[in-house]
Amino acid sequence: MEWRDELYRLLKRLAEAPGPSGREESVRNIVVELLESHVDKLWIDTWGNVIGVKRGGSGGGRVMVAAHMDEIGFFISHIEDDGFLRVIPIGGVVERSLLYQRVVIRSRNGRLIRGVVGLKPPHIAKPEELQKVPELRELFVDIGVSSREEAEKLGVRVGDIAVFDRDVVELAGTRVSGKAFDDRVGVLALVKAAELTRDPKIDVYFVATVQEEVGLKGARTSAFAISPDAALAVDVTIASDVPGVAKSEWYTRLGKGPAIKVADGRGASGLIVHPKIFDLLVSLAEKHNIPYQVEVIPGGTTDASIIALNKEGVPAGTISIPARYIHSPVEVVDLSDIYNTARLLKAFAEEVTPEWLREVKGTFVK
């Protein structure tokens, strides 16, 4: 497993960088550094998406592979007279994961200021208050000061961003834990796939998108600019191999390979994967002896659902990396799943042909 240490080192860099939706600069700088030597052209667009293209043969055609850089987080919304901070969420913050967590604030001048999420002591709480998950409005961030003036002297201002403050750490075997694996693991697989891909037959666009957690916005704008003939999103999915979940309810499991998606979400908010995309991914996994799972999930979605609706429509699919405790500070993934996702992306990038793209885009009947 010569890839293990490299993936751990790179994931640590990517995941520990603060980058909530709309403030992805720290992550973007790392992605540019990692991607630039593996693509023929690289640029940052108006919204801050990182787009790298690897040119293919002369037969034409383009595919887009997307993974989002942003994580959930907070905006500082108010500074109390006694120096405590109030926050509002960026993206799908789960309130029961917040209490007594460490956070790091990035001020507008780039300074990092650490704090903790607090709540009034349980000793003086009413019995009914102890039985429920506290709402965000009841919580506050303590940065160790005693006044608004002290907070402002440190550089904290309303509108600054905050994220969970957690290092990436090794667990047993190839499993690791940390914050923002949604979707820095997908970004890592995308970068590694760009490195591994040799002589694609079509143009392959590797895109690290912004603002997925607040409405798939970076994927929408980058897909419009690229106008791909087919697309994949790389994101995390629920690993339900934990106590309290019946085996019949398992969606995916850690260490069993990337999950090739059939469908996600509910109604208009999700994606039914194009069957030819699904069939190709399965055949590539089997051809190259890449372990894989099949995913049908009733909630959530990915960048693929908005890319699929670009212009006249784009055949789209998703490759998912199983993760436990998504949207928490202690997400858990298996590095082998990241590695095998990169292998599957490489196979897709190298083996899609202009002829296959013309076939998958539709057929003239008359």
Q: Which residues contact 68 (CB under 8 A, 6 or more apart)?
A: 183, 186, 187, 208, 209, 210, 211, 212, 213, 218, 219, 235, 303
Tell me where in the chain the CATH 3.40.630.10 domain(s) lie.
3-71+179-360
Please report, to the nearest 10 degrees, the dihedral formed by the alpha carbons of residues 15, 332, 206, 360 taken in order: -160
- HSE at residue 326, side-chain half, CA atoms within 13 A, is 19
Rounded to whole angstroms, how far apart are CA atoms 112 and 154? 10
CA distance 30 to 188: 11
Of these residues, 16, 71, 212, 331, which one is catalytic? 212
CA gap 341, 254 in Å, rounded: 13
Can you tell me the mean pLDDT for 359-363?
Answer: 81
Active site residue 331: no
Residue 13: pLDDT band with limits 50, 70, 90? very high
What is the pLDDT at residue 244? 84
Write out the residue limits of the CATH 2.40.30.40 domain(s) in the chain. 73-164
pLDDT of residue 60: 84
Lowest mean pLDDT among 23-27, 244-248, 350-354: 244-248
CATH of 73-164, one of 2.102.10.10, 3.40.50.300, 3.40.50.150, 2.40.30.40: 2.40.30.40
What digits encode the pLDDT tens for the residues 283-303? 999 999 999 999 998 888 999
Domain 3-71+179-360 falls under CATH 3.40.190.10: no
- Residues paired with residue 163 on neighbouring β-strands, in sequence order: 104
pLDDT of 34 reads 97
| Highest mean pLDDT pick, 62-71, 100-109, 233-242 | 62-71
Torsion on CA atoms 206, 208, 209, 213, rounded to nearest 10? 130
Q: 232 with 319: CB under 8 angstroms?
A: yes
Q: Tell me: the pLDDT tens digits for 41-76? A: 999 999 999 999 999 977 789 999 999 999 999 999
* Predicted confidence band of residue 231 (pLDDT cuts 50, 70, 90): very high
| Residue for token pair 């990241």 | 338
